[in-house]
Amino acid sequence: MIDFKYKVIDLLKEQIEFLDEDEIKLLLEVPPSYDMGDYAFPTFRLAKEFKKSPSIIAEELAGALSGNDYFEKIESSASYVNFFIDKQKLMETVLDEIKIKKDKYGSSDLGEGKTVIVEFSSPNIAKPFHIGHIRTTVIGNSLKKIYKFSGYNTIAINHLGDYGTQFGMLISAFKKWGHREVIESNPIQELLKLYVRFNSETEEDPALKDEARYWFKELENKNAEALELWQWMRDISLKEFNRVYDLLNIEFDSFAGESFYSDKMPRVIKELEEKGLLIESNGAQIVDLEAYGMPPALIRKSDGSTLYTTRDIAAAIYRKEHYDFYKNIYVVASQQNLHFKSWMKVVELMGYDWAIDCIHVPFGMVSLEDGTLSTRKGRVVFLEDVLNKAIESTRKIIDERNPNLENKEEIAEQVGIGAVIFQELFNQRIKDYVFNWDRTLSFEGETGPYVQYTHARATSLLEKGDFDINDKVQYSLLNNEEEINICRLLYNFPRIIYDSCDKNEPYFITRHIVEIAKEFNKYYNSTSIIVEDEELKKARLSLVYATKTVIKTGLELLGIKAPSRM
């Protein structure tokens, strides 16, 4: 595909000897609207060397550059040189490229030979998998897909919270009050009940705390009874979680959670000791981070048990040795900013230069309109229930609008789930937001169903018009404003993917495919596509094909299905 930006740079390079490619690239701007051109080059920076006013330089440059194959117009305006891409060339290069690359359009080999770990979701065993977990789960899944599409080898890790003192509590509680059959009939709710009861009884009887500590130590010592109970709780919880992953179509390469590192921690502690980083503080062992403006990192408690931080350090070292990652990404809520800063600092102090390749990708909070988000108070909204409710509401909408639709059940699932994911990925991840049912499930405006519907509409046009990808097309027939606007958006798609990978921001893609869908629907409403004139029809259908292909790829990168009908 022609890279018009580089064409601009090449042209300017010939005229301005004292600026190199990178300097020109940095100066180039994209004007706020297309009637000012596709690229604009400001000339202020040249005034000193040329000893002329910026506006005269712009005028002279524009004069020297006119008459070029790739640009229909190169003109000066005040102190800028504006470049207008040749629409014909643009249409041809974009549509041909999409026809050749199909669902690979926008992919690259940027990451060839490099491994990126994306750690995401990571719920805690025996605790509810609730609406608060949705963000890490869908942002992480999308990032994994974006990296893969950009040529990286990706490893998706679910760092399950399957270790720690809470298991001491659960084991004690189970031994006192638990019954297997009851728990197995409704694992998470029942385990949560035990946990809540244990916590409240501890308030009356503080000795229970020691008991819990004892059982966690026993677990670390590999006591058979403790181990069996822990394994059982992990298995039944994971079974629950997997239902949600199935609904969301998410797969992990590894479920190595916190427990996986239990035998890898003595080495870390020894290493910290040898490197002179570990100090004693009230019987516990810590790494002092005062010099970096942070509270100390707690490595080992006075009773000898290890902590969340210790496990993260061990996990990072293990991952480097095992996967030799290029980047090790953690999609975890911004509440844990300090935790990540702190242990990453410890890894750096240990002398590991790859500490800077460990990247915390934080995100803001999600709340419900009626404010019912609080695990501690037991007011939990299960993610599975939200997803099922989305599917059910979609089913109702389909029954009203399109009762004879084939595969209704499957499509209700794809649209309902897609709607939830889409809303999740619609905003910059760091922003807090309020989950809203009506907005999520609307078929209008900036929603998942709207984009999916546009895809289905495009698909049915291609079928109706007997689109053949091998037809020769006269691209010169595509010249109205909507056609050109769609084409520009399609042209920018690869860059959007690059940016979303570079910034770990799936929402660039979400916004972009919404724009494509809006522009396409405008076109659809103003222009008949299946027309008598065969040549015109072929040309228009090839634009429809390109649009449909890019929307589908975009949705897929977000983790959303694109049904052909809905």
Question: Active-site residues: which are they?
Answer: 127, 130, 133
From 118-126, 278-286, 457-465, 490-498, span contacting ligand ARG (CB under 6 A): 118-126
- Where b means 16+ CB within 10 Å and e means fewer, 303-331 reads eebbbebbbbbbbbbbbbeebebbbbbbb
Q: Which of 332, 458, 490, 544 binds ligand ARG (CB under 6 A)?
A: 332
Q: Which is nearer to ligand ARG, 91 or 314 (CB)?
A: 314
For residue 367, the SS3 value is strand
CB of 554 to ligand ARG, least distance (A): 28
Applying the rule CB under 6 A, the residues between 275 and 314 that interact with ligand ARG are 312
Q: Which is nearer to ligand ARG, 119 or 240 (CB)?
A: 119
Q: For the residues of 248-277, what is the DSSP string, one character each?
A: HT---SB---GGGGGGGHHHHHHHHHHTT-
Here the tokens at position 541 are 């259908």
Applying the rule CB under 6 A, the residues between 123 and 152 that interact with ligand ARG are 123-124
CB of 122 to ligand ARG, least distance (A): 4
> Would residue 91 be called left, alpha or beta, if left means φ above 0 and alpha means ψ between -120 and 50 degrees?
alpha
Q: Which of 159, 320, 327, 540 binds ligand ARG (CB under 6 A)?
A: 159
CB of 127 to ligand ARG, least distance (A): 8
For residue 104, the SS3 value is helix
| Nearest position to ligand ARG, beta carbon | 161
From 56-64, 117-125, 225-233, 540-548, span contacting ligand ARG (CB under 6 A): 117-125
Nearest to 527 by CA among 545, 543, 511: 543
From 23-31, 120-128, 280-288, 417-425, span contacting ligand ARG (CB under 6 A): 120-128
CB of 258 to ligand ARG, least distance (A): 7
Q: Which is nearer to ligand ARG, 129 or 422 (CB)?
A: 129
Applying the rule CB under 6 A, the residues between 478 and 537 that interact with ligand ARG are none
Q: Which is nearer to ligand ARG, 159 or 429 (CB)?
A: 159
Here the tokens at position 248 are 């969301």
Residue 438, classified by CB atoms within 10 Å of its CB into exposed (0-12), middle (13-18) or buried (19+), is exposed
End-to-end distance of the chain based on CA atoms, in angstroms?
33
CB of 158 to ligand ARG, least distance (A): 9
Q: Is 161 in the site for ligand ARG (CB under 6 A)?
A: yes
* CA contacts within 13 A on the Cβ side of 462: 20
Q: Are 157 and 318 in contact (CB under 8 A)?
A: no
Applying the rule CB under 6 A, the residues between 215 and 274 that interact with ligand ARG are none
Residue 160, CA distances (Å) to 122, 125, 165, 259 in order: 4, 7, 15, 8
Nearest to 141 by CA among 509, 471, 398, 496: 509
Here the tokens at position 302 are 């006075």
**How many CB atoms sit inside 10 A of residue 200's CB?**
9
Give the neighbor-by-neighbor strand order of the sheet with 284-287: 278-281, 284-287, 297-300
CB of 4 to ligand ARG, least distance (A): 42
Q: Which is nearer to ligand ARG, 70 or 363 (CB)?
A: 363
From 97-105, 119-127, 219-227, 408-416, span contacting ligand ARG (CB under 6 A): 119-127
From 48-56, 116-124, 222-230, 248-256, span contacting ligand ARG (CB under 6 A): 116-124
CB of 260 to ligand ARG, least distance (A): 11
Q: Which is nearer to ligand ARG, 1 or 294 (CB)?
A: 294
Residues near ligand ARG, by CB under 6 A: 119, 122-124, 159, 161, 312, 330, 332
